[in-house]
A and B are shown apart, each in its own frame.
Chain A
Amino acid sequence: MSSHAATADHHGHDDHHHDPGFLRKYVFSTDHKMIGIQYGLTAMVFLAFGFYLMMVMRWSIAYPHQPLPEWMAWLFSDNWKARWLADGKVTGETYNMFGAMHGTIMVFLGIVPLGFGAFGNYITPLQIGAVDMAFPRLNMASYWMYLAGGLVMCASFFMESGAAKSGWTNYSPLAGFADGQIVNQWLAGQTQWLIGLVLLISSSLLGSVNFITTIINLRARGMTWMRMPFFVWAMLVTGFLLLLAFPPLEAAGIMQLMDRVSHSSFFMPSGLYTAKEGLADLSGGGSPLLFQHLFWFLGHPEVYVLLLPAIACVAEIIPVNTRRPLWGYKSMVYGVLVLGFLSFIVWAHHMYLTGMGPVVSTFFQTTTVLISIPSVILITSMIISLWGGSIRFTPAMVWACAFLPMFGIGGLTGLPLAFNLVDLHLHDTYYVIGHFHYVVAPGILFGLFAGVYHWYPKITGRHMSGFLSHLHFWPSLVCMNLIFFPMLTQGMAGFHRRWYNGGDAYLAKAKDSVNVFGNSVAEHIDLNIIMSWAAWAMALAQIPFVINLFISWKTGRKVESDNPYHATTLEWATPTPPGHGNFLTEPAVYRGPYEYSRPDCEEDYLPQWEEPKRGADAPAEKPATPSAH
């Protein structure tokens, strides 16, 4: 046991402060741990909501002619159903709305806040031995802005216009025109989406400034750069991605807002004609392509903002549960830095079909292929880390192990899309949907679930139930693959990602015209039903998790020590759960983050904070420099 460890019932507290009261402690808290928990719970609620939207969409795909069944429709009021469903069937408009909001919610309100906001907030200061974030009040403001942005976006579901319907990418001129019939543009869903987005961007801006400052300036004594756990490195890079990639989207958002409320033409070309409005009453002269550039300048780094926290969790869980150092720690650190840099110069691979020209396409094709190198370094290092380890299949480790192949499929299916010739065929098909959902859902989400199971004992002082965890894991794994693997097949068969009726309308018309895909749509359309049922079963598979999350908080097995996994990083040196101010004494760091199974040590782990033994038989240690660098 470490010399600094306190037992669980010590409950680290701060002698200098009185109890701050319920509101200050749980609602308007400035403690990074409480804010992390707030982020986590809010993000999970949004994830559940985004999941529900998808369930409705999947009904429309599998059974476009049948009314939405009661077991899904009960969430809507009768008035809402009458407005948005046609004889109970999901309309194209409603499908578009749900599709746009599913994407937005999952990316901006679900995964980023869960990975970066929740885990980043809770773990980062602990792992670097800091008392809190550098700017606790900014941290709180960041959470509240995120919540406000999310609520503004979701409130628009109840407006006359409905929520945004132009895809999560919000491309102009479609998004510039949408909801144009609403006289007060400030009360249109499409405008609310932009306002929400500006709030979310401001939130993540505050967050990223805070994270980076904390990591640079608040590291504990002896916590040099190369002694930082990989998790912290990943957070640092994520912080920089958010800091630098989001502002151009904010610029695009502001310009689109101008297009909507002051009728400017930033993204509106000359001579724009719509069936609804005829020739647009606009000056024209703008560029729709500009919006796509600005959007994807964020959009691609955003993928890594989603991914890195999940990889970070997995990279922490693997060494603990294999009792081996993380293989290739340094190459992973340099890999993640290169990845961060390259992610800024690959964005236009989302735009091969826009006619931006072969020279530009070639450039982005090259950088896109290049970026797979650091990604592969990360994944390979983690896989090799398993080699020869004495693996403990804890709940967290099971999820982490599943992350590796699932993310692997996601990554590898992306390679064909990087080549613009192949992309011509696959663009906007279900193949693309399958590809990025493999990255995000069974990939990133599994990594984050692993994180929840792993750090839950530190956060609550109790373990989650192993049985419920397996009941959560195995059905989820099966369902995930049943949902997303058929998408890859369907995509290659030519299924378009925006068919709201899953291809029925296409089949109905296919008789009258030349079908470029032959009969491939008819052959693969039944997969829709399998995928949809898998999706709904997936919802059931999450119930054990929700039960586990809340029941274990009160009734779970108590942790026996502050370091139940015998881990080496600093978050396990704190009391359980850590009190305000985190550490009982100022921590000092003497060695790297993953000193497991050292042959010169009695135990199979040597924590970062354990003071080197004096004397002749002491293991050789590098002297801890008093300052970083």
Chain B
Amino acid sequence: MEIPYIVTPRKDTGLFNSKIAIWLFLASEVMLFGGFFSAYIFLRLGADYPWPERTLPVLPGLINTFVLIFSSVTVVFAWASLKMRQWGKFQIYMAITVFCSLVFMVLKGIEYNVKFHHQAVRLKDYTVVEGHLGYKVKDGVKVEHGKQPTEDQLAKDAKGRKIEENLVNFEAAEFSFSTLRHHKPWVESIMARAADQKASITLAADLELKTSPEKTVSFKAGSPLTVELLDSVKEAHLAARENNGAVRTDNLREQWEKAHAANPGKRDWEIADQVAVDTAAIAGQLMPEQPSVIFKVEPPTVFSFKPRDVKEAAASADLRDGTNLKGKLVDSPMVFHYVDAIDFRHLVMEAERKGIDPKVAIENSWLLKESPELKKIWEKQQVALAQLTKELAAKGKEPTAKDKYRIGWQELAYYSVTKIEDVKITPGKYAMPKAKENFKEEFFGPDYKVREKVPHPDGKHFGAFPHLTVPREQVQFASKFAPAWNTYYAIYFTMTGLHGLHVVGGALVLAYYLFCGKRMYLSNPEWLANRVEVGGLFWHFVDLVWIFLFPILYLM
């Protein structure tokens, strides 16, 4: 049996099988990306926050665009070489194509990586602060203001990673673990922290449980917390739940039989409130259930949790795995070691929605009330803005919202060392990174070495505006520049990520023809040419998608 039209086209359709298939596949891909592009339009039109425009580095994106277009050309050359039976040339062109995909992915990877390390926070009043979080130092270590802690002063987590100062700290006197849902890695890290702090976590009260109606297991008050202990409680609890469920079900069936006999002609729902499990009658058959286990912490010790894993209140906190902590919430600030920007655009948007004058709203923002230093910076920004407005008015233009309400780190540095009467709209040259560094930042993100060279207003240190401490209660929402930050970043990562997967998939197929195609070439070169043609069509599609992605995500 041989399937026809694998190599030669069918006469009346003029197509070989895989060519039809790839066009169909691409049609479905168009619908897939069409779904995402529609989502983009939907989300952008419906955004209730200032949609980020031109926030991505254009240069690497532009380079990537040309890299892909170039590789689309070389893949055609590779196919043409095959058609002319020039294996050597095919190899060269295909190698260039695959190499281009590699360049594309590396640039993309760098772009992603920068975002994943860049922190943002939206305060309760909708002020947005962007920057870099500091790392937690070891207990007892003090770092001089304006200086960065050295590597060995930093605290590390169980996996040896540095810990960012964005944790909820809770001084726990008591833990109540959910018997069924406790998350083992979390229990282990709690035990490790206690051991580190020389605190003991012990069972609060004696437990008498049964693993079967006959067999009793007991746990003494004062036994230290272990994973095994929780496991045995879980085992007993499951056994009890199973036993009790069966006993109660049987009893309820009996009760219903009795109820039906006593109330002939009545429907269930009319007598339902009179029928219940007769707990007293079956008390002897029931086994004790233990849905949670309480442990005491002595002395009360501070434990830290990632904000997303915990719902905290003043005297109690709940972890996502059902663990409850009693004790008291202690100071849990977010500490920015570097602030890249302070952005009031979202605050202004909310103020306008409520009919409040944006300027008043900004002046009443927590940040400006809290920090006299920032208030001065804001005043200087107003001076500069007035100059800019005048200058633009001469050209018949107006300052953008970004000009008006966003203060970048260069301005922060400039304003913090410049007297208000000296403020000019071309900020001092020392505050600006040199063109070369600017170019570097396009690719690799904020370069904090440059920031550290900027003098601090106190004149003694370097690093303008180094620290900003945001108390937990001011935080409305915090995230890295990751999909969680807002719908723009969500769609950006999803679309480019999916496109990246297509690039990788396409490149793997093309690389397969490059490295493993020789045998096929020798036996049936036309078939290989067909396959490369199909792969090339896919590659064009990948390129085409990027040509749409680049403007909507980077330029618009």
Contacts and interface: CB of A to CB of B under 8 A. Distances in A.
Interface string B4-30: 110000111101111011001101110
A487 B28 CA distance: 38
B4 A88 contact: no
B487 A285 contact: yes
A141 interface: no
A345 B67 CA distance: 38
A495 to B, nearest CB: 14
A181 B320 contact: yes
A247 interface: yes
B385 interface: no
A567 B277 CA distance: 64
Contacts of B11: 627
Given A63-B268, A265-B484, A247 B3 contact: no
Given A160-B181, A255-B494, A265-B490, A134 B484 contact: no
Contacts of A245: 31
B1 A266 contact: no
Given A183-B321, A255-B494, A282-B477, A217 B10 contact: yes
B139 to A, nearest CB: 27
B272 interface: yes
Given A217-B13, A285-B48, A266 B490 contact: yes
A248 interface: yes
Contacts of B486: 265, 283, 285
Interface stretch (B38-46, B100-108, B441-449): B38-46
A292 to B, nearest CB: 11
Contacts of B16: 217
Contact of B42 (A85, A210, A277, A290): A290
B521 interface: no
Interface string B472-495: 000001010011111101110110
A629 B489 CA distance: 50
B484 A88 contact: no
B49 interface: yes
Q: How large is the interface on B (under 10, 10 to 19, 20 to 34, 35 or more residues)?
A: 35 or more
B248 interface: yes
Contacts of B249: 67, 81, 85, 87-88
Contact of B487 (A14, A286, A627): A286
Nearest to B308: A281
A504 B252 contact: no
Max count, chain B CB within 10 A of own CB: residue among A82, A181, A508: A82
A310 interface: no
Interface in A276-317: 277-278, 281-287, 289-290, 293-294, 297
Given A64-B268, A287-B43, A263 B3 contact: no
A425 interface: no
B12 A283 contact: no
Nearest to B272: A65
B325 to A, nearest CB: 16
Contacts of A243: 24, 27-28, 31
A205 interface: yes
Interface stretch (B203-211, B239-247, B291-299, B409-417): B239-247
Interface in A308-362: none
A438 to B, nearest CB: 28
A320 to B, nearest CB: 28
Contacts of A580: 1
A65 B268 contact: yes
A89 B252 contact: yes
Interface string A13-27: 010110000000000
A287 B321 CA distance: 28
Nearest to B238: A79
A629 B477 contact: no
B217 interface: no
Given A131-B3, A218-B5, A248 B483 contact: no
Nearest to B120: A283
B487 A213 contact: no
B15 to A, nearest CB: 7
B35 A247 contact: yes
Contact of B3 (A17, A136, A212, A254): A136
A559 interface: no
A250 interface: yes
The list of the 6 closest CB pairs from A to B, nearest first, reads A251-B35, A88-B249, A82-B245, A581-B1, A264-B490, A248-B35
13 contacts: A79-B241, A132-B3, A135-B21, A160-B180, A180-B320, A209-B28, A218-B4, A254-B494, A262-B490, A277-B311, A278-B311, A285-B47, A285-B487
Interface of B: 1-5, 10-13, 15-18, 20-21, 24-25, 27-29, 31-36, 38-39, 42-43, 46-49, 122, 180-181, 183, 186, 238, 241-242, 244-246, 248-249, 252-253, 256, 267-269, 272, 275, 277, 307-309, 311, 320-322, 477, 479, 482-487, 489-491, 493-494, 498
